[in-house]
Amino acid sequence: MDSEKIKKKQSLKVIISEAIMVLAVVIMVAVLALIVSGYWVNSDFKVERQGMLQVASIPTGADLDIDGESSWLQRTNTSKVLPSGQHTVTISKEGYDTWSKQINITEGLLYRLQYPRLFLIDRESTKVLDTSSATSASVSPDRNKLLLLNNTTEWELVNLRNDNLEPKKLNIAPYFSSVSLAEGASVGLFTGKITNIDWDRGSSHVLVRVETPDSTEWVLIDTENLKNSLNLSKEFGANFTLVEILDNSSSNLLAVQDGHLRKIDIPGKAISAVLADQVVDFDHYETEIVFSATNSTGGYTINLLRIGDDEITKLESTSTFAKVVISKFYDEMYLTVLQGNTVSLYQKTDFTPVSSFELSFNPEYIKVGQGGEFITMYTGTEIATLDMEALSVREWRAEGDSFGWLDNDMIYTITDGELIVYDFDGFNRRTLAHNVSSHFPVTITDDKWLYYFSDGSLIRELVAR
């Protein structure tokens, strides 16, 4: 064979090889695009569009059962492709109780279950602190600190992460007007009525609202350096009706005085010019503020404002008062409007309606979950939960007269001494403890230690290893 024919044959092989490689790449890209879009080949070798389930749990590595099927490879803290439609997810682990829920998978979309928590079945209770002098308590957002309050001017701060739970004494007398302190006495009586306690996200400051027969005062307590605490009402000579912490460390606050929304600079002890007028309620996410204000016709407006900008964006006029909260979910900003028994969800960017729900009751309060994955609306223990993942609302009633938050995702009630916990949507009801004091909070630290109060003592239980 002459060299010319050999060269032609080799060139043809190269062309064919490159064509095959290009075709393979095209096919791979197409297959990946189909997988990303949710298409999958089922057990019958038919192509169908599916969704993906992502499951995490505490503790990690629990057994994952889907629609009655499980395997040794199927564990939590992983992802799984599922056909669209309804599925039953069950999570279990030896030595723990069981968690279960029905979910609805949508084709081409990811469904996240990030909050399931299992509890050890056999647990021992240990008394770790005498709290017989405390009349109430408050838990920090990171659930590492416990503020013990009483009727004196000496409160106590407990670090729940320390092996030694010896309380740190806090002399709050210099910062409150509502105290009775005899001359020369180191400890007096606290005479005010605490109506609200808020912590900053850094868990270093506590904003306390106190009511007396004559006035309302707001005090910002610095739990790490008490001398930096500040009585806001005294410092600014103002009767604030609403105050919220704006950042992680309480350096800036938002306050409403006579309908005027202002920003308070704590280090500089300065109050800003008016940001907005006729404000009756507001919420914020970082520097974004949404607020309801009265208008000249006797109705209300829903408005947006970014701190640092002078322009106020009017979103909607309403004939009756609407409570609005702002939240972030999957990197998208949303506004939830609660008006009477109607809950409406909007995209914040252009106020585009996403969904609307009619409830069977009129909630008084509204709370956004820490990760924005749910919105809770409630009156007493009558609760409506907007699940942002499923984009659905479930109404349910917790037992007892009131409820609290065990962690970021779980609700608890104390009824006849029984500590009962639920997921944020009311599912997976479980009883954890008995003889629990109802007027004190319950919390979990390090995702494994349960703390509650019983007969004048702080009790600790190991609930996860």
* Domain residue ranges in the chain: 39-113
219: nearest Cα among 131, 272, 153: 153
Fold topology of 39-113: Immunoglobulin-like (2.60.40)
Around Cβ 44, how many Cβ atoms within 10 Å?
A: 6
Q: What angle do CA 333, 339, 341 make, to 5 degrees?
A: 115
Q: What is the pLDDT, as a whole number, of residue 153?
A: 92
> How high is the pLDDT of residue 40?
53
pLDDT at site 193:
92
- Are β-strands 270-271 and 279-285 bridged in parallel, bridged antiparallel, or unpaired? unpaired
Cα–Cα distance for residue pair 452/432, rounded to 1 Å = 11
**CA–CA gap between residue 267 and residue 250 (Å, rounded):** 9
Q: Are 232 and 264 in contact (CB under 8 A)?
A: yes
Integer Cα distance of 97 and 95 in angstroms: 7
By three-state DSSP, how is residue 390 classified? Answer: coil
CA–CA separation, 390 vs 286, rounded Å?
26
- Residues facing residue 337 across a β-bridge: 324, 344
CB 337 within 8 A of CB 296: no
Cα 245 to the chain's mean position, in Å?
16
* Chain centroid offset of residue 208 CA: 20
- Bridge partners (DSSP) of residue 157 are 147, 168
pLDDT at 11: 63
Q: Are strands 47-55 and 110-113 parallel, antiparallel or unpaired?
A: parallel
pLDDT under 70 in the chain at which residues? 1-15, 17-18, 26-27, 29-49, 72-73, 181-186
Copy the structure tokens of residue 15. Answer: 């062309």
Which H/E stretch holds residue 432? strand 430-433
Counting Cα atoms < 13 Å in the Cβ hemisphere of 37 gives 11
The CA-CA-CA angle for residues 30, 34, 40, to 5°, reads 125
Look at residue 7 in the predicted model and tell me its pLDDT: 56
> Is the CB of residue 139 less than 8 Å from the CB of residue 406?
no
